[in-house]
Structure formats: C-alpha cells, structure tokens
Structure 1
Amino acid sequence: MLEFKNVTKRYDGKTAVKNLNLNIKKGEFVCFIGPSGCGKTTTMKMVNRLIGISGGDILVEGKNIKEQDAVELRRSIGYVIQQIGLMPHMTIKENIVLVGTLLKWSKEKKDQRARELLKLVDLPEEYLNKYPHELSGGQQQRIGVLRALAANPPLILMDEPFGALDPITRDSLQDEFKKLQKELGKTIVFVTHDMDEALKLGDRIVIMKDGEVVQADTPDEILRNPANEFVEEFLGKDRLIQGRPDVTTVEQIMENKPITVPVGTTLRDAISIMRDKHVDSLLVVDSANVLKGFIDIESINLNHKKAKVVDEIMEEGIYTVSHHSLLRDTIHKILRRGAKYAPVVDDNQRLVGIVTRATLANLVYDTIWGDGTELEELTQAAE
C-alpha cells in the first residue's frame, strides 16, 4: 500500500533520513517514534510531498508520488496534525467537507457526508452548525480527524494529533480512533513521541534514530525482543510487560464474575446484595448483560428517600475497558483516573469481567517476586 524504497532526505549536506526501506500494508496502523530530530516527521511529510525527496522512491498504492500532481496527491491523502487547523470562520460542517468543497462536491453530497462522519464519533447532528470555538479541544480534534476522512482516502498521515490534549481526553480519543480505524480499514502512518501511545495504537512500531530505522516490529515483539540497548532505554525499564511477557491483555487477568444487579432492582435488594457480597458498589446490567451504569453506597444514601429502583440513581458515565485492551494501557488509565476498578466489556458493550486495583497489585507482586523463589533466595542471602 505504502512503500519506501531507499528513501533519503538531505538538508544542506546533512542527512535527515538515510536509505529508508519499509513496506506498509493496506489497513495497517504504523507508528513512527524516536527522539527529536530522528527523521520521523520528515519521513511522514515526504509521503504527501510537503517535503521533497532527495533520493529513492515512495509508492502509494503502487504509484510513484514523484509522478503525481502534488495538490491532487495531498487531496487524496488524509492529514491530521496537532494544531488541528480548523477554519474559525467556517461551521463544523464546512470544516469537515473542506476537501469536498475543493473537489466541487454538490451541496447534497457534502451534507450527507458530514452527517455520516459525525455519527462515527458520536457527536450530535446539531454540532454541524456550530463553530470551532464552541467545541472543546477533544471535540475539535475529532473534527480534525473527520475532515481527514471526508474524501474517503485509503491513507491517512497523523503528526502527533493528540499531543496537546489532557491525558484523559487523549486516552479517550486514542480508544475511539483505534476502533474507528479498525472499522474503516484505513492505512495509518502515525508520528508520536509517546511510547505508550505507540504501543497502544500501532500494529507495528518503527523506531528511528539519526535518520535510520533501528527496529520495526509489532509492539509485543519489540517489548519482548528489543533490537539493542537504545531500544531498551527508549522503551523504559519500568514497563510491566517486560517482567511478565505472558500477560498482555485485560482478558488474561480480569475477574470473570463481577457482582451485578439487573435494571429494575429495588434499592432495598441492592443494599442486601452489597451486604452479602461485602462490596460498596454494584454494576447495573440489562437483560442482555449490557452494562448500563453503577450504583454505590453514597448514591443510595443521597437518594434512598426519593428513589425506589437502581435505574433512578445509577451513574451512566462509567469508565470501561475492552476485553482485548492491552494491560499496560488499562493500568495507566486506572491510576490516572484514581479509579478503584474498571468494568471489562466486549465489542457489544456486554459485561464480561472486571479489573480491580487488587488484581493489579497481585500482578505487580508476581512480577517482582514470581512464585516466591526469588523472595526465598533473598531471605536466605540476608541470613
């Protein structure tokens, strides 16, 4: 889909990218990462000819980009940057279909495409008539992504698109975009300086140093078998998966039977279940086991006089993780949010398990001490 053949870029005698050879498959999400000045952004900008190539060739769907009109090439490739670049005087709809306007789409086609895309990120249709300043940073970045998708390009380039967002909004957008990419099957070239982001999003990670590729492989392979000391240091010694390479996803460590109550359960019955199970909160599910929300002792105490069933007082905005989420991402999110637990759901939002802080604490203990042999050896050595 995207191929680099001996690609080189020189600036005033200095080589920024050296003989890059890489083949990116259709539908693949590839993250480029490395220290500042390593050549990752230069590599990406050569793809849509924002930066010229000094040597070698880049092929997009088998066509050499040198042989294509630069303007037409850029219109055929999605491009998302950190600064977003929404036009402040244009409505959200006009921003989304900006490329369509340049391609002279009809009003009907632009209206339909804008509505279609807005649904992908669960924003209400009335947002189409708002202006960028009326949206939050996370919402604006969603619109920036939609604009890149408007002309349905097979390839999208993204240059640190979530770098300016707060950690929680960033987590949410990463999850949303990864899911969107899988659904749409787009090929993504994603530049980041954040290793956690690369490990979370990338099907493959390309680690660069001094204009050269040091290692290009899947996240798990890089974590298990770093190519050299530079990669080890760049990854960081504290990544949990290095201690437990056999544990990579939430599904492997989650508790399979979280304590739940169905919608319609009376508060009296909910209190009784809490007492019997020795818990201070309950997850609320419907008849299909789809997670609807949660209740806790505090919400019951505040509302027991005016509410009779759990549906009336449950909180719906509960933070969840997917059963195939990477464990390292879930750990970071739980700690960042100060959450005591995270319900685990499948692709249809059905509750399949729960990850608690106690579960994570046990895993960390096992990572440090293993089966107890190491602890015993340390004890004997101390004696």
Structure 2
Amino acid sequence: MPRPLIVREVPFDAWVASFRERALAQGIGTATFDAAMRGVRPLPGVIRRDRNQSEFTKTIWDYLDTAVSDLRVANGRRAMERHGDALAAIEARHGVPAEIVAAIWGLESSYGAYRGDVDTLSALATLAADSRRPDFFEDQLLAALAILETGEADPSDLRGSWAGAMGHTQFMPTSWHDHAVDGDGDGRRDIWGDDPTDALASTAAYLAANGWTTGQPWGAEVVLPEGFDYRLTGERVEKSPAEWTALGVRAADGGPVPEGGPASIRVPAGHEGAAFVTYANFRALESYNTADAYVIGVGHLADRLAGGPPLRGGWPRGDRALTFDERIKLQERLRAAGFDRLRIDARIGPDTLDAIQRWQASEGLVPDGYVDPDLLEQLRRN
C-alpha cells in the first residue's frame, strides 16, 4: 500500500479538516465544501512539478520555435476563421485585438485542444497544504470553491493544469472572479466548455483591466545600429519612437521605429540576437505572464496571425540557458562584486539585468545584460 503524502508534516486529511473551518468562516457553504472536497486527493506529481519548475529553462529561441511554429500559426488562422464573429465582437467591446486574444489562446491551450486534465480542486488543495506558497494556493482554492457556489460550474468542470489554471486561456480561480465575463450571453461565464467564447472574452477583459491601450502595438522587431549603447536597453529606459530613430534604431523592414508612445529596447539574447522595441502594452501582457519570452511569444504570434513575417534577426543558437543553481551562483557573484542590494532568488529581473550591464561595462564588455554560461565563467574568474 503506498504511503500517504505528508504535507506540512501533517497528514493531508488533517489539513483538509483544518482548512474546512477556514473555508466555512470565509463564507463557503457547508454543502458546497463537503460535496466538492469529498473526492479531493493529494497529488504527489503536482508537488514534484512545483519543485522542479525552477529547474526548467529554455532559451528564448527554443521557446519561440515552438510558440510561433508554422503549425501553430496555421492552426491559429483556422481557429480565428471559425470564431471570427465572436473575436470581432470581443475586440469591439474590450478594445483588445482579436490576434492578441487568439495568440494567448494558442499559447495557453493550443486553441482549446489541450486544456489540461488535472482535477483543479485536488491540485490546489495539494499546493495549499504544502509549505512553499500556502497562502496563495489557499486563496485560489477558496476562489475555486466560490465558483461552485455561484452555480456556474460543477466540480467535474474544474480541470486544467497542475498549478490550478483552467480553461481555454488558463485562468486561475481568482482571475475568473475578477475578470471572467459572459461572452455568449447564456448567463454563465463558462471558460471550460468546448465553446471558447467566454474564455476569449474574459481574456480580453483581463487585459483591458490590466492596462491594455486600444490602438497601440505591443512591440516590434527592430535593428540596432553599429556602435549602439547597450546600456540603453531594458525596461527602465524609455524614449519616444522619434528619439530611438534619431539614435539609428530602425524597424526590421528598414523604416523608422513604429509609433506607439514611450518605448524601450529589449535584447533578450544580447547583442547577437534579435532586438525589440516594446510599448506600454508589453506591460499589460506581462500581467498575464511575466516572462519576456512569453510576452514576445504572444506578440509575435499575434503579428503572424495578422499576416506578418517571421522574425528577421538571428539567435546565438550555440548557447544554452543557465540552470536554477547557476542563476543563483550568478547573483551571488554579482553581489560579491559589489551589488549588495541584489536579491538571491534565481530570477533574472530588472535589478539583476541592471547589475549585469553595469558589471559588463566595468569590464569593457558589451553591456547587453545577456545571461549565458560564458558570463558566469567570466564572473567566476573575476
């Protein structure tokens, strides 16, 4: 007989019993809780995936090869044809382009083909009972139970990814409460069923609520001039398109930098990779997923769905991404080099990128913030 999964050093059933008191105190009905949680079981595989996700790294070019493959573009164009009327109505209502909504749909569930088959309540209960992020996942589990209270879903409807995201566009339960809308007018906000209309409308509503500006681009590929000062790259430096054009930056087709308001230049693979100009709508997409690769994937897939060309810039395909442990070592080396306020969390965010650029500049290297094994080795030698 397999040993029971132990979380927080207490049996799972004991955690459920203690959570029941907290859930009822938060307004979850007794009948709803007991019926929903009766079939909930701990999922050891969820804990393993949660522990291992930080070790999963991909270069941006490997990610984009899959995210914006020819097959995904072709499937997306067919999906947009099938649901063209719904997407047009959603764009008119929420101001988010149909291609952006479809691109998120494509990346999150391959246009509804792979919505996930993990029991959401069991996944969230497993993660809430665990000690790594208990408060976040308890909130999500409470929100999932509250969905059942509305009568807009049954426990059997709540299926999705191992981390609790659900439906065509992988909403977390709190996002459903905050942003889900009834796109097809049937009185339910059904993001789980075969008809994607509610999920697509909810995604547009989510982006609109998180700062999407109608009529502005997310970004575009650009070409940087010889001698460009790479200390100007990164989200903390903004200039107008005209200012970037005056510095020699050009659109990929050779024209001026596209209009779109204050913009930043990003070089996710350093000076040897493709470069992008990004606008405020890039940050709106970050509210869905903070990874630059994801946001660029959504934006570029949307451009391809609209008939745009593949990226023209190349990638340093001989490189590999750093592992979790290597990113920790990188940050430790930077701190040892004098960047005392740097957090040691393996996240290559704006603070780490800024530290890398300043260190590179001090060593006479191209200050592009690019992270690869050679950079870590150079830091070790110094």
Which band: TM-score by shorter chain? Answer: under 0.3
More helix by share: 2
More strand by share: 1
TM-score of the pair, normalised by structure 2: 0.24
